[in-house]
A and B are shown apart, each in its own frame.
Chain A
Amino acid sequence: MSTQTPAIDIEKLRKVYTRGKEEVTAIQEISLQIPEGKFVSIVGPSGCGKSTFLHIVGGFIPKSTGTVRIRGKEVDKPGPDRGMMFQESALFPWKNVYDNVAWGLEVQGVEKAKRDEIVEHYLKLVHLWDFRNNLPSELSGGMKQRISLARVLAFNPDVLLMDEPFGALDAQTREKMQVELQRIWQESNKSVMFVTHDIDEAVFLSDIVVVFSGRPAVIKEIIEIDFARPRQLDVHKTQEFMDIRNHIWDLLHQEHSKSGEDEF
C-alpha cells in the first residue's frame, strides 16, 4: 500500500432523500480526502447533513451517487475497517463492560487468549479496566463514551468515525474527554473523521477542520490547524486559536443569516 493513498477518499458524494413525492437534497456534492493519521473534524450548521455524511461513510445509510474508498478500497456497507462511535451510547445494556468490548473480537473469530489481551489493553488505555465487570447502566455518560471508544479501537479499524460523541456530555466532562481523546488518538495513530457542532472542540482536536455549508451540504472551507501536540486546554486562550475560532464562527453564521429562517 503506497503512502500516497488517503485513509478516506470521498469522491463526488451526493445524497438525495425522497419524502413522498418530494426530493430533498441533503448533500449537494462532496469530495474530500483524509490523509493517513490525521484528525479531521467536520463542522456545519445544525441539520446541514454532516451526520448523514458520516453515516454514509460508515456504510449505515446508502448514498445516492459518488464513491467512498477506505485505503483505496471502495465500500458501501458497514465493516470493521471503519470504527463508528455514535452520539448516543451504543453499548449493549445486557453485556458488561468487558463483554461489550470483547464481543466484536469474538464475532471476528479472535481466539480467547488474544481477545483477553486486547480487551485489557484498551480498557486500560481508557482508564476503565477497574469497571470491566460493571453494566453500562452503572456508568456515567463520559465513562460510557470512553468504553465505546475502547470497543471501537479494540477491533482495530483503519479509520475512526465519530458522530458528536461528546454531544450529550456536560461542558467540563466534555473538555476532559477532548484531552483524553487526544491522548488516546496519539497513541493509536488512527485517522479520524469527527463530526461536531462545537467549534472549540473541532479546533482544539483537529489537524484539519472542514466547514460544511447549510443544506444541501457543500464544503465551504478547509482549514488547517497546526498547534503543537499534545495540546493543553489553555491553547483556547491564545490569540491564534481565537482567530481561527472566530473565522469558523463567521463562516457558520453567514449560513445562518442566509437560510436561518427555518432553523429554529
Chain B
Amino acid sequence: MDKRLHKIALIEVVVLLVLWQLLAMLQWIPEYLSSPAVIGKELLAMVMSGDLFSNAAASLYRSLLGFLLVAVVGIVLGIAAGYFKPIGVFFTPIVDVLNPVPKIALLPILMVWFGISDTTRVLLIFLTAFFPCFIATQDGVHGVKQVYVWAAQNMGASRIQILWKIILPAALPKIFDGLRVSLGLTFVMLFSSEMIGSSNGLGLGFMILTADMAGRTDLMFVSIFVIALLGFLFDRILLAVRARLLWWSENRG
C-alpha cells in the first residue's frame, strides 16, 4: 500500500514535469515560466560552480538554527505551560494575541534592534515557527489521558517522574505534529527573512531576488526548486526521527 502510494506520487511529479516541458517547447506558455530542461541546465551549472552549495548552506544554517531554537524553547515552554497551571495562565494571553500577528510585520522592529543581520533573520524565523510548536505541545500535555497520570500516582510516582516518564512520552505524538508544522514554516520564512539586505549576501532567498532583478526567471526557479527539495528532505528526516521515537505508537507514520 505504502509502496504503491510512493509510485503514484513519483508518476504524478514526472507527468507534471513532462507536461510543463511540452507546453514550453510548443511555446504555449510565456517564456518567463521557463521550462524544466532550462532550469535543470542552470541547476547543474550552479552545482558545478559551487554557487548553489554556499547559498544553500547559508540559508539552511539560518533555517535550522531557527528550527532548533523553536524545538527547544517551544517544547520546554509548551510542557511547562501545559503541566504547571500558573505558567499556562501566564502564557495564554500572550500566545493568543501574538499567534495571529504576521511576524514579518515585526521585521522593522527587529531591524532597529539587531540591524540587517543573521540575528534578525533567525529571530524572524523563530518567531514565526514558535507558535505551532508551543501550542501543539501544550495541547499534547493537556490531552494526556487522566488514567495514565492516576496510574502513575497510584504507584507512588513523584511529580517530576510523572512529567518525564508519563507526560512527555504520552504528549510526544502531538509534539511531533507541531514540530512538523514549525519545520515547514522555517523553510517558508527562509525566503522572507532574506528579503532584507539582499544583493551582497548569501542565501537561496537572495538568489531569487537577484535573479528577479536580472529578469532571470530560470534562476529563480532553480532557487525555488532547491528550497522545495531541502524542505522535503528535512521533513522526511523529521518523520524518520518521529518513527524512531514513536515506535510504540499506532500512528507513527
Cβ contact of B166, chosen from A58, A89, A92, A135, cutoff 8 A: A92
The reply to whether A88 and B155 form a contact with Cβ atoms under 8 Å apart is no
Cβ contact of A80, chosen from B147, B156, B161, B249, cutoff 8 A: B156
CA distance A80 to B154 in the complex (A): 5
A78 interface residue (CB < 8 Å to B):
yes
The reply to whether A107 and B156 form a contact with Cβ atoms under 8 Å apart is yes
What residues on B are CB-neighbors of A92 within 8 Å? 148, 151, 166, 169-170
Q: Mark B192-228, 1 if CB is under 8 A from A, else 0.
A: 0000000000000000000000000000000000000
Output the nearest chain B residue to A148 by Cβ-Cβ distance. Answer: B151
Output the nearest chain B residue to A154 by Cβ-Cβ distance. Answer: B155
The reply to whether B155 and A108 form a contact with Cβ atoms under 8 Å apart is yes
What residues on A are CB-neighbors of B154 within 8 Å? 58, 78-80, 82-84, 104, 152
CA distance A84 to B250 in the complex (A): 26
The reply to whether A78 and B150 form a contact with Cβ atoms under 8 Å apart is yes
CA distance A264 to B119 in the complex (A): 62
The reply to whether A103 and B150 form a contact with Cβ atoms under 8 Å apart is no
State the Cβ distance, A132 to closest chain B Cβ, in Å. Answer: 15
Q: Mark A76-119, 1 if CB is under 8 A from B, else 0.
A: 01111011101011101111000000011001100000000000
Cβ contact of B155, chosen from A59, A86, A107, A137, cutoff 8 A: A107
The reply to whether B147 and A103 form a contact with Cβ atoms under 8 Å apart is no
Majority SS at the chain B contact face: helix
A122 interface residue (CB < 8 Å to B):
no
A155 interface residue (CB < 8 Å to B):
yes
What residues on B are CB-neighbors of A95 within 8 Å? 248
A60 interface residue (CB < 8 Å to B):
yes
The reply to whether A137 and B250 form a contact with Cβ atoms under 8 Å apart is yes
The reply to whether A90 and B147 form a contact with Cβ atoms under 8 Å apart is yes
The reply to whether A88 and B153 form a contact with Cβ atoms under 8 Å apart is no
What residues on B are CB-neighbors of A77 within 8 Å? 153
CA distance A60 to B172 in the complex (A): 25
Chain A CB count within 10 A is highest, among B151, B165, B166, B170, for B151
- The total of chain B residues at the interface (CB under 8 A) is 20
B163 interface residue (CB < 8 Å to A):
no
State the Cβ distance, A35 to closest chain B Cβ, in Å. Answer: 23
Within 8 A of A (CB), among B152-176: 152-157, 161, 165-166, 169-170, 172
The reply to whether A90 and B156 form a contact with Cβ atoms under 8 Å apart is no
CA distance A59 to B147 in the complex (A): 13
CA distance A147 to B166 in the complex (A): 18
Within 8 A of A (CB), among B229-252: 248-250
What residues on A are CB-neighbors of B156 within 8 Å? 79-80, 104, 107-108, 155
The reply to whether A103 and B165 form a contact with Cβ atoms under 8 Å apart is yes
The reply to whether A86 and B250 form a contact with Cβ atoms under 8 Å apart is no
Q: Mark A146-160, 1 if CB is under 8 A from B, else 0.
A: 000001100100000
CA distance A92 to B155 in the complex (A): 13
The reply to whether B155 and A104 form a contact with Cβ atoms under 8 Å apart is yes
What residues on A are CB-neighbors of B248 within 8 Å? 93-95, 135, 137
What residues on B are CB-neighbors of A83 within 8 Å? 154
21 A-B contact pairs sorted by A residue (CB < 8 Å): A58-B154, A60-B150, A78-B153, A79-B154, A79-B156, A80-B154, A80-B155, A80-B156, A82-B154, A88-B147, A90-B145, A92-B148, A92-B151, A92-B170, A93-B248, A94-B172, A95-B248, A107-B152, A107-B155, A107-B157, A107-B161
Further contacts, 17 of them, CB under 8 A, given A58-B154, A90-B148, A103-B165: A58-B150, A78-B150, A78-B153, A80-B156, A88-B145, A90-B150, A92-B166, A93-B249, A94-B172, A94-B249, A104-B157, A107-B152, A107-B155, A107-B156, A107-B161, A108-B156, A135-B248
